[in-house]
Structure 1
Amino acid sequence: MPIKSDAKRRWVELEFIVPGTPEQVWRAIATGPGISAWFAPTTADERVGGKLEFTFGEGAASSGTITAWEPPSRLEYEEHGWSEGAPPLATEFVVSSRSGGTCLVRLVHSLFTTKDSWDNEIEGFESGWPGFFQVLRLYLRHFADQRAAAARALSAYPGAHAEAWKQLATALGVSGPNLGERRSAPAGAPPLVGTVEHVEQSDHTCEVLLRLEQPAPGVALLGSYPWEDKARVAVSVFFYGDRAAETAAELEPRWRAWLEARFPANAAQKANA
C-alpha cells in the first residue's frame, strides 16, 4: 500500500482477516505470550504506560511504551531510538469482529516526521509483516491459547535474495511448493515434516509456511529477503503444546548450526569487505 502523509507524520496501513473471537485475537496481538506465539519473544506490562519489549535474536531488541490499551479492540505503543537518528515510531492494532467467527485486524505504522528519507524503513515494515500474519492465522486456527516457544536461526548471503532462497528451499525440500502438499526436509537437515499452507515470492521476500507434524505440532516460516546490499535467510519454527519450550530449546542450536554451515556469516562479510 502507498505511504500516506500529513503535516505531522508518514504512515502505512495493513488489514487482514484472522479466525477467532475478539478476545482470542486480542490475547494473540496484545500480550507477551500471545505475541511470542507468532512473532518474536515478547514481554508486556499490560496497561497504558507499560512496556512492550521484543527480542529478535543476535542481540537485536526493541521496546516501546503502551499509549493505548483498550481490550479487546485497540492497542497502541510508541518506540523511541529503534534506529539511530530515527523519529518516534507508533504502532496501532485495531480489532473488529466480523461474521463467521473471524476478526478484521488493522495495523498502522506511523513515523512522526514529514521527511521522506525514512520511507525505505516504512516500506520494510509493510513487507515484513505479512509472513508473520500468516503464522498468526494458523496459530489462531489450530493452536490458540496453547503454550508456545520458537526456534530461530538467521544468516546472511552475499548475493540476491532469490538465489539465497533457491539454495535454502532446495536444502530443506520445499522447492516448487504447492498449497496442500506434504513436504519433508531431507537427511542432514533438522527434522521438518508438514503441509504447505502459504507461499510468497516477490522482490521483497520469498517464503514458505508449513503447518508441522514433526518434530512437534507447530508452524515453520522459511524465507529470504533483501538486506542492505546482501540477502538474509531466516528460519522461524514455532512449537505449541506442553512441551513447546523443551522442543524449541533442543532444536534451536541445531537450526543455527545447520544454517551457518550452509550460509556462513563470515562469507558474506568477506564478500563485502
Structure 2
Amino acid sequence: MGQRFELQKDVELAATPEQVWEAIATGPGIDSWFMGRSEVEPREGGRTSFTMAGQTQEATVTAWEPGRRFAYRTAPGPDGAITAMEYLIEGRGQGSTVLRLVQSGVLGDNWETEYEAMKAGWDMYLGTLAAYVAHFPGRSGAPVAAFRPQAGTPEQVWAAVAGAFGITGPVTEGQRARLTVDGLPPIDGVVDLAGLPTYFGVRTDDALYRFLHSGTDRGNVLVLGHHLFAADQDPARAEQAWQSWVEKLPIG
C-alpha cells in the first residue's frame, strides 16, 4: 500500500529570482544541476519530461508564475505512486534568493527507503544548484551520467573515490582534488560538497562533478552525475570515459 508524504527544503542562493527561475523552470537550466535530461513546456498545462538511464517520466505543469512559482505533477503510476513538485521563489536583498522546494505525493511499498533517499539526494542537488548559480551564471551545463551497481558499502566506495582524487583522511570542503580519467583532460579542482556517507562533489573552472551512493537498501549503487560547462565539451565521449572509469575503479 502506498504512503502519502511531503518533503520541504529551503536554500539561499547567490542569484536573482530571474536567474533562479531560469535554473529551475527551463530544460537547459535544470540540466545544469539536476540528474538526467529535462524538458519544460513553458505554460500552465504544459508538459515536462525527465529522462534518466533510458527511462522517461512525464508530468503536467500545474503552476507557471515566472520568477515566483513553478509546479508540476505526474500521473499515478501502476502502483499508485504520484509525485508533485513545487518551487517557490522569494527575492532577498543584495541579489540573493531563497528557494523553497516542496515535494509531495504517494510513494510505493518501499516508501521509507525511498523517502530517506530523497531527503539525502535533495541536499546534494540543491547544493549543486547553489554552486551552479554562483559559479556558472548564464551558462548551460551538459549532464553526464555513469553507474556502478553493487559497487560496495559506503565506506568502501568513498575510500576508493576519495583516494582516486588524491585525498587521504577525512573529506572536507575546500580540499584540493585532482584526478585523471582516460581520454579526458586532467581534473583539478576543490571539494565543494562533502555529504558523506551519501554524496561527494568537486568543482573545477568548467565543471561540477557529483558522486552519490544509493545506500545498502538500494543496491549499493555508485551514481555519477556531472555537469560540463566547457565550450568544447563532448558529453557522449565524457559519458563513455566516466562509465569505463567507474567500472574499473578498485573498490574494497
TM-score normalised by the shorter chain: which range applies?
Answer: 0.7 to 0.9
Do residues 253 (structure 1) and 240 (structure 2) align? yes
> Partners in 1 of 2:115 and 2:11 — Cα distance?
18
Provide TM-score, normalisation by structure 2. 0.87
**Is the CA contact 1:37–1:150 (under 8 Å) kept in the aligned structure 2?**
yes
- Once the two structures are TM-superposed, the CA of residue 249 in structure 1 deviates from its matched residue by 2.5
Corresponding residue for 1:5? Answer: none
Q: Map 1:217-236 onto structure 2 (within 5 A).
A: 217-226=206-215, 228=217, 230-236=219-225
Q: Any conservation in 1 of the 2:208–2:228 contact (CA below 8 Å)? A: yes
Instruction: Tell me the alpha carbon deviations over residues 143-173 of structure 1, each in whole angstroms, 9 at most, x when there is no partner.
Output: 1121321221111125422322222222333
Distance (whole Å) between structure 2 residues aligned to residue 65 and residue 155 of structure 1: 32
Distance change (3 Å), C-alpha of 1:142 and 1:117: closer
- Cα offset for 1:183? 1.5
String of CA shifts for 1:2-36, please: whole Å, max 9, x gaps: xxxxxx95311111111111010001001111001
Q: Write out aligned runs for 1:105-124 (5 A).
A: 105-112=99-106, 118-124=111-117
Q: How does 1:11-22 map to 2 (within 5 A)?
A: 11-22=6-17
Matched residue, 1:73: 68
Contact 1:96 1:105 in 2 (8 A): yes
| 1:118 Cα deviation after fit | 2.9
Query: Is the Cα–Cα contact under 8 Å of residues 197 and 211 in structure 1 kept in the other structure?
Result: yes
* Structure showing greater relative contact order (alpha-carbon pairs closer than 8 Å, 6 or more residues apart): 2
1:38: which partner in 2?
Answer: 33
Residues 128, 212 of structure 1: CA spacing in aligned structure 2 closer, same or farther, 3 A cutoff?
same
Task: State the aligned residue count.
Answer: 246
Equivalent position of 1:209 in the other structure: 201
Q: CA RMSD in A?
A: 2.6
Write out per-residue CA displacement over residues 26-80 of structure 1, whole angstroms, 9 at most, x where no aligned residue.
01001111001110311111111111111122x2332211111111111111012
TM-score after normalising by structure 1:
0.81
Change (3 A) 1:152 1:187: closer
Amino acid at match of 1:62: Q
Alignment partner of 1:92 is 2:86: yes
Residue of structure 1 equivalent to 2:21 = 26
Question: Any unmatched runs of 5+ in structure 2?
Answer: none
Q: CA, structure 1 residues 61+263, in 2 after alignment: closer, same or farther (shift >3 Å)?
A: farther
CA–CA separation in structure 1 for the residues paired with 2:247 and 2:11: 34
Seen in structure 2, the aligned counterparts of structure 1 residues 227 and 144 have a Cα distance that, compared at 3 Å, is: farther
Q: 8 Å contact 1:66–1:77 — kept in the other structure?
A: yes
Q: For 1:49, which of 16, 39, 45 is the aligned residue?
A: 45
Identity rate of aligned residues, in percent? 28
Determine if contact 1:174/1:208 at 8 Å carries over to the other structure. no
- Give me the whole-angstrom Cα distance separating, in 2, the residues matched to 1:212 and 1:259: 19
Residues in 1 aligned to 2:110 and 2:235: alpha-carbon distance in whole angstroms? 39
Q: Distance in 2 between matches of 1:68 and 1:195?
A: 38
Which ranges in structure 1 are unaligned for 5 or more consecutive residues?
Answer: 1-7, 265-273
1:139 aligns with 2:125: no
